[in-house]
Chains A and B, each alone.
Chain A
Amino acid sequence: MNQDNSQRTSNSVLVLGGGIAGIKASYDLAEAGRQVYLLEKKPALGGFLPLLDRQFPTNDCNICYLSPDADKAGGARTVQAMPLTKLVTLEGQAGEFNAKVLTSPRFIDVDRCNACGACLAACPQGAISFTPGLDTSSPTCLRYPQATPQAFAIDMSKCDRCGECIKVCAPEAIDLDQEEVEQSLEVGSVVLASGAEAWDPAPMEEWYGHTRFPDVLTNLEFEQLMSAAGPTGGKFQRPSDGRHPKRIGWIQCAGSRTTKEGGNSYCSSICCMISMKEAIWAMEHFEADLEATVFFMDMRPMGKDYELYYQRAKKELGVNFVRCRPHTVDYKEDTGDLRMSYVDDHGTMGEVDLDLVVLGTGFCAAGDAQEQAAALGIELSSYRFVKADEFAPVNTTRPGVYACGMALGPQDIPGSLTQASAAGCMASANLAAPRALRREDDLPKEQDFSGQEPRIGVFFVDWGRVVQEVVDPTAVEEAAAKLGGVVHVEKLELSYGQDGLSALEKAISEHQINRVVVAGYSPRTHGRIFAEAIRKAGLNRAYLEMANIREQDALVHHGDPVAATAKAITLVRTAVAGVRQAKPTPSLTLPFNPDAMVVGGGVAGMSAALGLAGQGGKVYLVERGRELGGLANELARTLDGRPVAPELAEMVQMVKANSNIEILTDTLVVDHKGQVGSFITGVQTGPGMFYRQINHGVTILATGARRYEPTEYLYGQDPKVMTQLEMEKLLASGEGGDALDTVVMIQCVGSRNDDNPTCGRICCRSAVKNALWIKEQKPDAQVFVLYRDMRMPFTSEDAYRQAREEGVLFVRYSPDAPPRVSKDGDTMEVIFKDHILDRELAVEPSALVLSTPQIAADEDTEELCEIFRLQQGPGGFLLEDHPKVKPIDTPAPGVFAAGSVLAPASLAEARTQGLAAAGRALTMVSQMSLVLDTPVAKVNGDRCAACLICVRTCPYGIPYINADGYSEIDPAQCLGCGVCAAECPAQAIQLPGYEDDRMLSRTEALLEGVL
């Protein structure tokens, strides 16, 4: 962490990779006032995300949540998205790198292309692709409507320069003579987010038959089969004969956790969840009578609360789970079905006939990982992923170069996003003080149109042939010109390229236009672009309305041009009626206190404090105990086997030495008020518990969890019974002695049961860590690990393998028949059933070690939630804003969370989340002021009867009755859903853009001529 950035001059970061991790890092940095160059090798941003039909654990299609980020990253003024571009060399050092980058030609001018698709239809060689690369066999499918950039690309290896595409391209965007361009960029930091590749099952063809049998699919291929935008158009058919599959089997660990050639020995971490999601989704949406079976070795739902998802799949949704070692997939000539053979839990061979087999394939390092690492000058791990460690989880071996997402190893989306925010935080520490965005100041002053008649300009953007073949442009333009208030009608030659936008701005000033209707594209994809354009011309952004005559007219009524033309006129009329009543939405600028409060002085809290210190204002680090360090103080070794104490001591020292951090130990938070940018939190501090108020702009909660205190297995009654942590202390003392002769470890004590249905997430890894340590101290020790599923994600699988090789015995038990412990005098006996031998065994342990989880510090977290107005999730942990896309944010703006207050966390996770929370906070802190210009609900105090309905209905609890006795809604907090406005019985609340009279005008215009 760089303390002094006064010497730094660069404000730029190079982000490599435009998947969700790279997009998140870029967007966080851009929001924090940084210039970002976002490089992507492919023609468009997106990475793996557009390939997924649904995402666990919510089973949503999260495109609508994530695409605004992608859109902002691509469209934000400080993010320069550079598709088809790769890094060649990186010279210099942190704070002053010089990066040479090479951009391959697209052969299509992005500024001119309007993604109309005419070239795609015309190309005889299939050389043109829609950019998300969703499915090359069906390039027209647009599952991802907000692709950035929204443009096609030509694959020159398939093109024979026939020129058909040039003939049909109305905006003249095609240039087959484009050449590659090399550029040199000055940046202060680099964030590597280049992702991974889906493992290709070809090397294990012998076992899986993926190439030979069309009905053997990988999980990503199956995802396409289910997708409404996929090759079958949402019809659920198996590829070989189009039959509805009734029996589907998912084979887990296909190519993972294997020492067979062509596979990977690590665990891919996320495939269990992917397969479960696919099984659930297939059952829910295609076939109620579908037999969905997951064939697995250990189920590893690793993320927060994923265990609950697994239990629901098994117990409520009827997905079958068969624990086995899947063996071979064969084809049955007579029925055309597949037959899979496996070795079950008892060691017997089994066979099953299936209509479709889905391979739970994992991910491996990108093919060009080595080449890229060489360009960056960083080291890779033996699996060619980026080398990182527990205490520096997003660092690479080169200072100033950070990593996030699947470049570090297989990872789910929340993990990638968290790392991205953490890497963003680290990257910005090498930069000069951020530039305040102040975007309003750069723009011309908004003109005041109050009291003036509406002068509406209707602009038709180039619809492309697809639209013009259906809708008669002349008829629509003539009709538009006759509408009341319309003073100008113009066709813009380009859809939204710069020329077209300049023409729009010019027309606004020439014709004194004060309201604008843009007819053509959807407001979802193009609204922001045109809103910014009219703002540049001096109009408030709210003076725009769009008529969606492409997606919601021409494209859906292609069979009926007369009706489509009539509907286009209706849509334009509706937009004109709406915009006629538009009122400006004032943008609100609030001062922002750059100071931060971090609650909790463990690893997560200290990481957050260090991440923020020196980058914003002052950091108040509040710790309830006397010492910093939290639960990590009790750890001797990290999960990767390194000593914790020196690293932790160094971290504590850095915190103490940092002049920007004020440490408040023995301190309790007692009250909290205010809003993002101006919080006031009351604390009681020191032995005297003096009350003090602290002003700060953002809050990070990192209050941690507590250890589960077991009541099971004679814990506390016999000195031989201990927790993993106590065993760890014993090992660290080096005085284990006879206690290490015969050690029995029991997993899932206090977790995955009725009282605590969640998984402890790290107890398996702790057990393997300690088992190996015991073997290290006493090689002839007998160690038994009694487990339910060994959950050893990614390379911890190697430690698991090593433990087995060193003779640690892993014996699975079923929750119906857990191990029993009996004691007779001084003799203690553990009795458990061995599944393979199918008989009970009895062992007299010299130590019985219970693997107990971190559990929510329930009462403390409850109190915290009350003070900060947050909620607890299942298991009592703090509930994040969104488990998938906002894992570090809380629903309260300006309040973030990190570490085991969210879920049981490893050191690396606590460290990453702390940095990520700091990164998220920096997006706000660095701005010094908060500019709000989205529509928010407004109360007319004269009409308000203080009936409290709005107070009760607001999903976020924002309205309150103010001192004057009427409802007040804080514009800084309102998200603009309009629910209060709809419920208010006195119509005292209105949502700008959707006022009652404006909605009525739209409805009237929409239905004109119907009666």
Chain B
Amino acid sequence: MSDFEPVVVVFACDYCAYTAADVAGRMNLSYPSGVRILRVPCTGKVEPLYIMQALQKGADGVLVAGCLVGDCHFKNGNLRAAARVKRVQTLLDDIGIDGQRVAMVNVSAGQGAKFAEIATEFSNKIGEMGPNPIKQGAKAAA
């Protein structure tokens, strides 16, 4: 598995995590290049469908990154997101994809280092879990 470089899609809240990712850049930190960020106005906008689509299109892992608990710019969007991530995890377990490929994380706008750390750790974890099994199926079908 040493040559496996996981692709991780991050749905990042505009107010916190997305800004934290910018700060990570400005601090010249680094995280694996397989981590790819999509901006959302609030993690409360991240539908289970988005997470499933990302996995269906070949992402090896998905992170939903919102504000710290209690700090959501829209009161409780991050809590809703966390609840949805839990549902998706159960669903994935049911269909034979490890639910741990999806995770909810919380970072504040200033926490660039924490963002880089989370991105790296999660990517490493997915690296250990191996590629998204959907990829096998897609290759077999091709």
Interface residues, chain A, CB within 8 Å of chain B? 53, 58, 60-61, 63-65, 140-143, 145, 227-229, 233-234, 522-525, 548, 550-560, 563-564, 566-567, 570-571, 574, 935, 953, 955-956, 975-979, 981-983, 991, 993-994, 996, 999-1000, 1002-1004, 1006-1007, 1010-1011
Contacts and interface: CB of A to CB of B under 8 A. Distances in A.
Contact of B36 (A570, A978, A994): A570
Contacts of B84: 982
Nearest to B49: A996
A746 B136 CA distance: 77
B16 to A, nearest CB: 7
B108 A978 contact: no
Contacts of B33: 553, 556-557, 560, 563-564, 566-567
B40 A552 contact: no
B60 to A, nearest CB: 8
B89 interface: no
Interface string B106-128: 00111111101000000000000
Contacts of B28: 140, 555-556, 558
Contact of B112 (A229, A563, A955, A996): A229
Contact of A1003 (B53, B111, B112): B53
A981 B45 contact: yes
B45 A977 contact: yes
A229 B45 contact: no
7 contacts: A65-B73, A142-B26, A556-B31, A558-B30, A978-B42, A981-B45, A996-B49
A468 to B, nearest CB: 15
B53 A552 contact: no
B23 A143 contact: yes
Given A955-B77, A994-B45, 8 more contacts: A58-B71, A64-B15, A64-B109, A523-B39, A548-B37, A551-B23, A982-B84, A1011-B138
Interface string B43-76: 0111101100110011100000000101101111
A233 B110 CA distance: 12
B56 to A, nearest CB: 9
Nearest to A560: B33
Q: Which 9 A-B pairs have the closest CB atoms?
A: A978-B45, A551-B25, A555-B25, A1010-B58, A977-B74, A979-B44, A64-B109, A563-B33, A955-B75
A229 B7 contact: no
Interface of B: 7, 9, 14-16, 18-19, 21-31, 33, 36-42, 44-47, 49-50, 53-54, 57-59, 68, 70-71, 73-77, 80, 84, 108-114, 116, 134-135, 138-139
Contacts of A976: 41
Q: Which of A564, A935, A1007, A1011 has the most CB of B within 10 A?
A: A1011
A548 B68 CA distance: 23
A982 B9 contact: no
Given A228-B111, A234-B113, A955 B76 contact: yes
Nearest to A146: B19
A978 B40 contact: yes
Contacts of A982: 44-47, 80, 84
A523 B40 CA distance: 12
Question: Which one of A233, A554, A556, A564 has the greatest number of beta carbons of chain B within 10 Å?
Answer: A556
Contact of A1010 (B7, B26, B74): B7
A977 B44 contact: yes
Contacts of A525: 22
A1003 B27 CA distance: 27
B108 A556 contact: no
A866 to B, nearest CB: 20
Contacts of B30: 556-559
A527 to B, nearest CB: 10
A63 B19 CA distance: 10
A142 B71 CA distance: 22
B74 A556 contact: no
B14 A524 contact: yes
A1006 B25 contact: no
A954 to B, nearest CB: 9
Contacts of B57: 1003-1004, 1007, 1010-1011
Given A551-B26, A560-B33, A955 B74 contact: yes
A548 B109 contact: no
A977 B42 contact: yes
A883 to B, nearest CB: 13
Contact of B47 (A60, A234, A996): A996
A226 to B, nearest CB: 11
B26 A1007 contact: no
Given A61-B109, A548-B22, A1000-B53, A229 B47 contact: no
A164 B45 CA distance: 48
Given A977-B77, A979-B80, A1003 B38 contact: yes
Contacts of B112: 228-229
Contacts of B113: 228, 233-234
B43 to A, nearest CB: 9
A229 B27 contact: yes
Contacts of A61: 108-111
A58 B113 CA distance: 21
A140 B26 CA distance: 8
Contacts of A935: 41
Contact of A60 (B19, B71, B76): B71
A155 B70 CA distance: 42
Contact of A551 (B21, B59, B70, B110): B21
Contacts of B110: 53, 61, 63, 143, 227-229
A1000 B11 CA distance: 12
A1011 B58 contact: yes
A559 B120 CA distance: 15
Contact of A552 (B37, B41, B77, B139): B37
Contacts of B71: 58, 60
Given A525-B22, A556-B30, A1003 B44 contact: no
B54 A1007 contact: yes
Contacts of A566: 33
Contacts of A555: 25-26, 28
A936 to B, nearest CB: 11
A552 B58 contact: no
Given A977-B77, A979-B77, A145 B38 contact: no
Contacts of A141: 27
A552 B38 contact: no
Given A1007-B57, A1010-B57, A228 B19 contact: no
Contact of B22 (A145, A229, A557, A1002): A145
Given A60-B71, A61-B108, A522 B22 contact: yes
Contacts of B59: 1007, 1010
A63 B109 contact: yes
Contacts of A558: 28, 30
B41 to A, nearest CB: 5
A977 B42 CA distance: 6
Contacts of B114: 228
A1003 B31 CA distance: 20
B97 to A, nearest CB: 15
A552 B27 contact: no
A1010 B45 CA distance: 25
A550 B25 contact: yes
Contacts of B53: 999-1000, 1003
Contacts of A65: 73
Given A233-B113, A978-B42, A567 B36 contact: yes
A463 to B, nearest CB: 12
A567 B35 CA distance: 9
- Most chain B beta-carbon contacts within 10 A, residue among A233, A571, A977: A977
B42 A1007 contact: no
Contacts of B49: 996
Nearest to A525: B22
A1007 B9 contact: yes
A555 B49 CA distance: 31
